């Protein structure tokens, strides 16, 4: 089974996501996505559903169409560009962006807590503590992130201490990576499916 990817959305788009009105998103940075990938859709600390990536295309901001703006849940290209410039203040008309088209595979009603997809009996904070005390090799950055997670007991609070909520994906990535290493070494086991 292919590994699930993740797409994060601002709280501003939660209503459009819940209604399935978004079938496209535009990002300023090259995404770690390719056609055919399955991705969980995150917003407000919840998993809203699962999508299949149809395409990822680099194009100029000035070349975004009205149709793409509507697929992204906006009324016009101008409204979309204004929202993009709030998220990415450095964007200019000649900047390149990445247009990610997707189709909904499943929408969760109600949305699921992100913890629903955590595979281990230990919480992320407990995994962080175990990683720190287990002797596995960790970079200084990973050690800092795991230390904050162990202390704060929350991915959200650890991200805020690191510099902001936008760092939640980084905290999640580090704790997932060390969980896999701890599992590989036999120090952590997955919860049996019920």
Q: What is the residue-level pLDDT of the chain in tens, covering all 194 positions?
A: 567 888 988 888 888 888 888 999 999 999 989 999 999 898 877 888 899 999 999 999 999 999 999 999 899 999 999 999 998 899 999 999 999 999 999 988 777 776 556 778 888 999 999 999 998 999 999 999 999 999 999 888 999 999 988 888 889 889 988 988 998 899 998 775 44
**Is there a single domain that holds both residue 24 and residue 83?**
yes
For residue 152, the model assigns a pLDDT of: 93
Question: Is the pTM here over 0.85, yes or no?
Answer: no
For residue 47, the model assigns a pLDDT of: 85
Residue ending a domain, choose from 114, 131, 146? 114
For residue 163, the model assigns a pLDDT of: 92
Classify residue 190: in a domain, yes or no.
no
Q: Could you list the residue range(s) of the whole structural domain that residue 83 is in?
A: 5-114
**Is there a single domain that holds both residue 103 and residue 128?**
no
For residue 194, the model assigns a pLDDT of: 45
**Is there a single domain that holds both residue 54 and residue 73?**
yes
**Is there a single domain that holds both residue 56 and residue 134?**
no
Classify residue 159: in a domain, yes or no.
yes
**Counted domains in the chain:** 2
Question: How do 5-8 and 38-43 pair as beta strands?
Answer: parallel
Classify residue 192: in a domain, yes or no.
no
**Is there a single domain that holds both residue 105 and residue 40?**
yes
Classify residue 31: in a domain, yes or no.
yes
Query: In terms of DSSP H, where are the helices of the chain?
Result: 14-18, 66-71, 77-87, 124-134, 140-152, 155-162, 168-184
For residue 167, the model assigns a pLDDT of: 87
Residue ending a domain, choose from 89, 114, 139? 114
Classify residue 78: in a domain, yes or no.
yes
**Is there a single domain that holds both residue 90 and residue 176?**
no
For residue 115, the model assigns a pLDDT of: 58
**Is there a single domain that holds both residue 26 and residue 80?**
yes
**Is there a single domain that holds both residue 108 and residue 15?**
yes
Q: What is the CATH number of the domain that holds 85?
A: 2.30.130.30
**Is there a single domain that holds both residue 109 and residue 156?**
no
Classify residue 130: in a domain, yes or no.
yes
For residue 20, the model assigns a pLDDT of: 80
| Contacts by 143-152, CB closer than 8 A, 24 or more apart | 145/170, 145/171, 145/174, 145/175, 146/174, 146/175, 146/178, 149/124, 149/125, 149/175, 150/125, 152/125
**Is there a single domain that holds both residue 59 and residue 122?**
no
Residues 71, 24: contact at Cβ < 8 Å? yes
**Is there a single domain that holds both residue 106 and residue 30?**
yes
Classify residue 193: in a domain, yes or no.
no
**Is there a single domain that holds both residue 34 and residue 96?**
yes
């Amino acid at each position: 089974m292919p590994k699930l990817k993740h797409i994060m959305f601002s709280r501003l788009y939660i209503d459009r996501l819940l209604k399935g009105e978004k079938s496209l998103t535009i990002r300023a940075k090259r995404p770690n996505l390719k056609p055919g990938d399955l991705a969980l859709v995150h917003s407000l600390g919840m998993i809203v559903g699962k999508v299949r990536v149809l395409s990822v295309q680099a194009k100029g901001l000035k070349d975004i169409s009205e149709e793409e703006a509507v697929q992204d849940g906006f009324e016009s290209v101008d409204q979309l560009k204004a929202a993009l410039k709030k998220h990415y203040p450095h964007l200019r008309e000649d900047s390149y962006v990445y247009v990610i088209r997707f189709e909904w595979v499943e929408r969760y009603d109600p949305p699921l807590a992100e913890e629903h997809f955590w595979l281990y009996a230990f919480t992320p904070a407990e995994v962080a503590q175990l990683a720190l005390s287990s002797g596995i090799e960790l970079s200084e950055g990973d050690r800092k992130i795991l230390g904050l997670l162990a202390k704060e007991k929350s991915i959200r609070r650890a991200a805020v201490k690191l510099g902001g909520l936008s760092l939640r994906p980084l905290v999640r990535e580090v704790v997932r990576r060390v969980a896999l290493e701890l599992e590989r070494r036999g120090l952590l086991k997955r919860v049996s499916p019920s």
